[in-house]
Amino acid sequence: MKKIKLALIPYSAYALIFIVAPILLIVLYSFQDTSGALTLDNYLRFFDFSDPVYLKVLWRSIRLAFISTVICLILGYPMAYILSKLSPRVRGTIAFLFILPMWMNFLLRTYSWMSLLERTGLINTFIGWINGFLPAAVQIPSLNIMYTQWAVVLGNVYNFLPFMILPIYTVLIKIDQSLIEAAQDLGASRGRVFRKVIFPLSLPGVVSGISMTFMPAVTTFVISRLLGGGQNALIGDTIENQFKVVGDWGFGSAMSVVLMILILITMGFIRRFESDKTGRSVLM
C-alpha cells in the first residue's frame, strides 16, 4: 500500500508547477510596474475612486451578469419543471437536446447571432415580411439591439441557459414524490404544494444553476466583444486588452487578482448553500 502513494508524486509536482506557481506569479506580477520594480500602483489605479473607469467596468460586468442570470432563472425554472414532469424515457432524450447545442463551437454559435440580430439580419427581414401583411397601424418595430448591452445579455442567456436548466432539472426529478402526495392529501392546493414543498426542495439546484451562469457571465470577453461591440467592454475584455494589446501585464494581473478573489468569495458563499450532488454531474 505504501507504494501506491508514490503514484501521487508526479501529479503533486505537476500541480505545484502548473496550478500553484502560476497563481503565485499573477500575484507577483500584480505588484510590479512595467520595469519590474515593486509597486502598489496597479491596485491604486484600479481602485481609483476619483476616476473610477475600471470600477465602472467591473460594475457593468457584475450588473450584466446579474441581469443575465435572473433572466436565465425566469426562463429556465419553468422549463426544468416541465421537463421533470415528463415520463423518464422522454425526459432523458429532451434533456439531451439541451446539451446538444453545446457541442457546436460556442464562438460560432455566438457569431451566428450576429446574422440574426443585425439591422438587415434575419430577424428584421422576418419582421419586415410579417409587416407586409399587417395594416400600417399595427406594424411591428424592427429589432435593433446589436452592439448594445442587451445583445450581450442575450448572448449570455443563450450560452448559459442550459447550465441553469440542467441542475434544477436534476434536483426536481430526485424529489421524493411521496412528500408531494402527502401535501396534497393534507389538502394543499397545487400552488401551495409548489411554494411550500417543491420550490424549497429545488433550491440547491437553483443555487448551482446561479453559480454556473453567473460566474462565466461575469468573466466572459468573447460574448461582449462579438455582440457588444467596443463600447460595452467588460472586465474580461479589459484584462485581455492589457495582455494582448497594451502590454501592461502588471495592471492586467492586478485586475485578474481582483477577479479571482471575487470568484473565490462568491464560490465559498455559494458552496454553503449547494448540496454536493447537483447538476454538475450531468454536465461534466
Partner 1 sequence: MNKRRHPLSVLYSVCIFLFLYAPIVVLIVFSFNESKSRGRWAGFSLRWYQELFENSTLMDALKTTLAVALISSAVAVIIGTAAALGLHYSKKRIRNLLMNITSLPMINADIVTGISLLLLFTFIGLKLGFVSLLLAHITFNIPYVILSVMPKLTQLDNNTFEAALDLGATPLQAFFKVMLPEISPGIVTGFILAFTMSIDDFVISFFTTGADVNTLSVAIYSMTRRGIKPEINALSTLMFITVLTLLIVVNVRSGRDVQKREKERR
Site for partner 1 in 79-118 (CB under 8 A): 79, 82-83, 85, 94, 96-98, 100-116, 118
DSSP label of 140: P
Q: Which is nearer to partner 1, 54 or 98 (CB)?
A: 98
Give one DSSP letter per residue of 46-77, joined into a string: HT-TTS-HHHHHHHHHHHHHHHHHHHHHHHHH
Using the rule CB under 8 A, which residue among 23, 74, 130, 182 binds partner 1? 23
Using the rule CB under 8 A, which residue among 164, 210, 218, 254 binds partner 1? 218
Which residues ranging from 179 to 208 are in contact with partner 1 (CB under 8 A)? none
Could you identify the residue written with the cell 452592439? 147
272 binds partner 1 (CB under 8 A): no
279 binds partner 1 (CB under 8 A): no
Region of 3 please: left (phi>0), alpha (psi -120 to 50) or beta: alpha
Using the rule CB under 8 A, which residue among 72, 146, 226, 254 binds partner 1? 226
Give bridge partners of residue 38 from the DSSP assignment. 32
Integer angstrom CA distances of residue 131 from 117, 118, 122, 124, 125: 17, 18, 14, 10, 10
250 binds partner 1 (CB under 8 A): no
Of 42-50, 131-139, 196-204, 253-261: span binding partner 1 (CB under 8 A): 253-261
25 binds partner 1 (CB under 8 A): yes
Q: Which is nearer to partner 1, 6 or 137 (CB)?
A: 6
Q: Which is nearer to partner 1, 110 or 136 (CB)?
A: 110
21 binds partner 1 (CB under 8 A): yes
19 binds partner 1 (CB under 8 A): yes
Nearest one of 260, 256, 274 to 211, comparing CA atoms: 274
Which residues ranging from 125 to 154 are in contact with partner 1 (CB under 8 A)? 125
Integer angstrom CA distances of residue 62 from 23, 59, 108: 23, 5, 25
Site string for partner 1, 29-48 (x = CB under 8 A): x-------------------
CB 26 within 8 A of CB 260: yes
Integer angstrom CA distances of residue 139 from 130, 132, 147: 9, 9, 24
